[in-house]
Amino acid sequence: MKRTKKERQQLLQETISENPFITDEELAEKFQVSIQTIRLDRLELSIPELRERIKNVAAKQFEENVKSLSLEEVVGEIIDIETDRYAISIFDVKEEHVFARNAIARGHHLFAQANSLAVAVIDAEVVLTAKASIQYVRPVRLGERVVAKAKVNEISAARTIVEVISSVGNETVFMGTFNMHRSM
């Protein structure tokens, strides 16, 4: 059934409002139009692209739930978080993050991404790293995207154990177990 542009755009707004994580490809298929038509409709309606929508949802979740640090203090971009359960962030390796000689990311950036994610995932006012056991699995290069996934494994009165696994594509590049001190 062919819809008018106005009808399609109204349905597009409703669909994205219900599911902000829907891709342009899925929308094009749903409305039986080209991806370019969806992009033009989004542009006309001032609806941001998927990545920006994910960032907006994550930023809202972050502001409502994270007590221990501000969004600006996180290394990388948090794209999903449920405190005391899990969190996911992405970090794009740029020129300023690598050694000039070999274009390999400096390790402290990978550690900072994982550590700040471990702090953010904990539902407490004050969170400090008491101890960390880390392993760099392989070098990360300029231009690669690192996805860090934090999982809360254990919670006690004053401590929380958080496991963080960072990957490039399907390949693990960093692993860490963070023993975090927490206080209200």
Dist CA 6 CA 40 (whole Å): 13
CATH topology of domain 5-47: Arc Repressor Mutant, subunit A (1.10.10)
Band (58; pLDDT cuts 50, 70, 90): low
What is the helix (H) or strand (E) element at residue 102, kind and residue range? Answer: none
Do the beta carbons of residue 68 and residue 84 sit within 8 Å?
Answer: no
Amino acid 108: pLDDT = 97
Contact between residue 43 and residue 13 where contact means Cβ atoms under 8 Å apart: no
CATH code 3.40.630.30 for 69-183: no
Sign of torsion over alpha carbons 49, 71, 60, 175: positive
Cite the residue boundaries of each domain of the chain with CATH code 3.10.129.10: 69-183
pLDDT for 64 = 67
Rounded alpha-carbon distances, angstroms, from residue 123 to 151, 156, 183: 13, 12, 9
pLDDT value at 47 more than 90: no
Kindly tell me if the per-residue pLDDT of 15 is higher than 80: yes
From-to residues of CATH 1.10.10.10 in the chain: 5-47
Query: What integer pLDDT is reported at residue 41 of this predicted model?
Result: 92
pTM of the full structure: 0.70
